[in-house]
Structure formats: C-alpha cells, structure tokens
C-alpha cells in the first residue's frame, strides 16, 4: 500500500494551507467573537475550488475523489471548523443529487453552485427526530393538480439563513408514513442581497409556485460560531415532480448513502481541529516556563503531548481507510465511516481538553485559541450521528 501523497494531493494541501495562513487564521478569533458569518472567506474558498467537492465532472469539469476531499476538509478545519462545516454542508446537500438525480436535475440544481459561491442546506433533523430519523413528521402529499405539498419543520440546519437551496427528507403521504422521499427546493427564490446579509432574525419567503419557507433566528451556539444554524419551516410548499430526487419511496436509502459519504468528512473536521489543538498546545508549552523548565520538558506534560499525537495519528489512519472504502463502494464502507467519525471525535475532544489543561488558567481565557477549540470540539461528537449511533451501526454490521 502506497502512503505517499500524489502531486494532486499536495497541490490541494498547499492551496488550503496558504488560504489558512493568509486569510483564515489571522482573523478567525475576531470573527468568532463577533459570531460573524464568514461570507468573504466562503467566497475565497469557492474561487480556490475548495467548495462543492461532490459535484460530478459533468457539472464541475473534473472529479475530486473522496480521499482528496477528506484531505481538503481536514486542512480547512485546521483553520476553523465552523468554516469547514458550512463548506461541507454544500456537499452534504448536493451529494444526493449527484448520486441519485437525473442528468436534468443535476444540471438544474447543481450548475448554480459551479457558477457562483452559493450555499445549500441538508434538511434531515427535526425537533422530535434527532438520532431517530424514522420519527420525522415533515411530509409531502399529492394535490389534485399533480404537484405535491410539503409541510413540516427541520431544526439545527447548517447554512439555513443563507441557503439558496434546501435538500429535504420527508415522509410520503402522511406524517406517520413509512416511506421517505428526498426532494429539492431550488435556488431561484433567494435574492443576492439575502445571501450576503448578516441576519439578526428569521426570514419568510413566499415561493413562486406557492407556499412559504421560513427560517428562524440563527442559533446562539456553544461553538462553531462561524457556521450558521437555524430552523426551517415549510408551509404548503408546492413541489413539482421534477424536484423529487430519484424514487420517492427510497429517500431513507438515499440518506444512508449521503451519510456514508459525509461521515468521513466529519471525521476530517475532527482531525483538523485535533491537529490545531495539538499545534497551539505544543507552541504554548515550548514558551511557558514552570519549575525552571519549559512545560514541554516536564515528563507529565510530555506524556500528554504524546497521547494527543497518538490520538491524531490513529484517527487519521482510520479516516484514510474509511475514505478509500466509501470511494470504492465497499460493502463494509458504512461501519468504517462510523469508526472514522468516532475516532476523530474522540481525538478532537481529547486534544482540545488536554490542550486546554496544559495551558492552565490561560486556557480558560477566551483570548486563547485553545478555549475556542475546546468549545468547537463538542459538536463533532454529535452531528451526523452521535457516537452511540455510530456504535449501533458498527454493531449491526458485526453481527
């Protein structure tokens, strides 16, 4: 097995590292304090080709393989995981269209993202259906004119306040139905001014075909403050047949396919954060003197640094295997995607917590980046399936 990066991989990494060094890291703490959405950084990342990595060659002009995608997302996350979460959400929302949409749907719904730095939202989670997606109650029913009407509420939706397109999973026929559909509410109804605004509240938009989409006030979160999160409510939204992706009865399988793709990306986010926590901690302990020695020269501190490094290396090895498995469509790709997600979340939590500990009292001060990283880390253990859900997936596959 060849562990050497290709020239293409190195090109991607060099691009993202330069972007982090010049554009992200110098301002990320100030943006975080302001809870400001990083529109300019999103636009620069798009120009550099770091967004919409799941777009097929027919739209983008070239493919980005999953291993390359994982490397790009990891490096973006080294700069800030809120930024990478917003960027990755585009792929979460659009991958299902690339996987199961018709050529016409791909042209209609994906082409705008190749042409402009737009954002999309993936609408799966509901107030009463977090880990248990089968409990969702958002649904579509067919009207007399042949179109469908969509009603329901989604929560914790990334990019919701700025999305020009929503990918929505919903029940078919009634809220307690068994079949799940995947559909797209397309981009035409969002004005350019709304895409670049900084919302203080929600918005309610009437759609040309009928119905409304309402987004709530942006959530005030513990961490990842550079990403936007809000509720989305659909009220009698008219859904033409062409907005339904694939078979309207197979939405649950489509969601599984997307999450298998997404979980290595979440793992990459966690590893990027863990690496950043490790690096800022090493730098701090090299310069901080206690008991007449640099902290990094004290055996107890050095043992902690070694443990942090080991967590990162193990998680990264698992991530690369998971990305390769998903890329090859291996039958056991789901369990390795879950394993990578859990290992990376553990690395992120451990490295940020131990890094804060080695900073001592200074780590508790918000001016130090390690305090931000410690807050950001917790969501990695939760979104796209908690650690318990990942263990359930692995356990099911084992037996």
Chain-centroid distance of CA 159 in Å reads: 10
Burial class (CB in 10 A: 0-12, 13-18, 19+), 139: buried
Residue 47, SS3? helix
196 touches 37 (CB < 8 A): no
- d(Cα 119, Cα 184) in Å, to the nearest integer? 13
Tell me the sheet residues that pair with 213: 205, 234
The count of other CB atoms within 10 Å of the CB of residue 336 is 23
Q: Which two three-digit tokens encode residue 325?
A: 């498995």
Contacts of 181 (CB under 8 A, 6+ apart): 140, 169, 170, 171, 172, 244, 248, 249, 251
Cα distance from N-terminal residue to C-terminal residue, the chain: 29
Q: How far is CA 142 from CA 116, 136, 234, 236, 238, in A?
A: 33, 18, 15, 11, 10
Contacts of 391 (CB under 8 A, 6+ apart): 338, 342
Contacts of 290 (CB under 8 A, 6+ apart): 298
Handedness of CA 283, 289, 290, 291 (dihedral sign): positive
One of 40, 194, 384, 388 is an active-site residue; which one?
384
Burial class (CB in 10 A: 0-12, 13-18, 19+), 208: exposed
384 counts as catalytic: yes
Residues classed as catalytic: 384
């Amino acid at each position: 097995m060849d562990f050497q990066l290709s020239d293409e991989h190195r090109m991607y990494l060099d691009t993202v590292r330069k972007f982090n060094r010049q554009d992200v890291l110098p301002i990320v703490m100030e943006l975080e304090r302001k809870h400001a959405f990083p529109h300019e950084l999103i636009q620069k990342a798009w120009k550099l080709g770091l967004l919409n990595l799941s777009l097929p060659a027919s739209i983008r002009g070239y493919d980005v393989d999953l291993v390359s995608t994982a490397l790009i997302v990891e490096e973006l996350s080294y700069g800030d995981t809120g930024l990478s979460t917003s960027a990755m959400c585009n792929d979460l929302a659009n991958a299902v269209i690339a996987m199961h949409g018709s050529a016409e749907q791909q042209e209609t719904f994906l082409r705008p993202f190749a042409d402009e730095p737009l954002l999309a939202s993936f609408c799966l989670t509901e107030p009463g259906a977090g880990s248990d997606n089968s409990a969702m109650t958002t649904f579509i029913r067919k009207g007399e004119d042949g179109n469908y009407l969509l009603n329901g509420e989604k929560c914790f939706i990334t990019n919701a306040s700025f999305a020009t397109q929503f990918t929505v999973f919903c029940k078919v026929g009634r809220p307690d139905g068994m079949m799940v559909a995947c559909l797209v509410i397309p981009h035409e109804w969002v004005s350019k001014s709304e895409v670049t605004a900084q919302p203080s509240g929600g918005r309610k938009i009437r759609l040309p075909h009928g119905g409304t989409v309402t987004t709530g006030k942006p959530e005030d979160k513990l961490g990842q403050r550079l990403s936007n999160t809000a509720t989305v409510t659909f009220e009698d939204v008219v859904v033409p047949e062409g907005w339904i992706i694939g078979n309207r009865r197979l939405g649950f399988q489509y969601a599984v396919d997307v999450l298998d793709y997404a979980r290595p990306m979440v793992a990459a986010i966690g590893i990027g954060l863990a690496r950043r926590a490790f690096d800022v901690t090493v730098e701090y302990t090299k310069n901080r003197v206690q008991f007449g020695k640099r902290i990094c020269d004290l055996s107890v501190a050095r043992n902690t640094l070694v443990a942090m490094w080991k967590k990162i290396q193990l998680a990264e090895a698992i991530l690369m295997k998971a990305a390769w498995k998903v890329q090859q469509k291996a039958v056991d790709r789901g369990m390795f995607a879950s394993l990578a997600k859990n290992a990376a979340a553990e690395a992120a939590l451990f490295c940020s917590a131990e890094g804060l500990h080695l900073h001592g009292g200074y780590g508790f001060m918000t001016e130090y980046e390690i305090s931000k990283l410690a807050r950001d880390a917790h969501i990695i253990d939760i979104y796209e399936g908690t650690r318990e859900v990942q263990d359930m997936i692995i356990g099911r596959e084992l037996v």
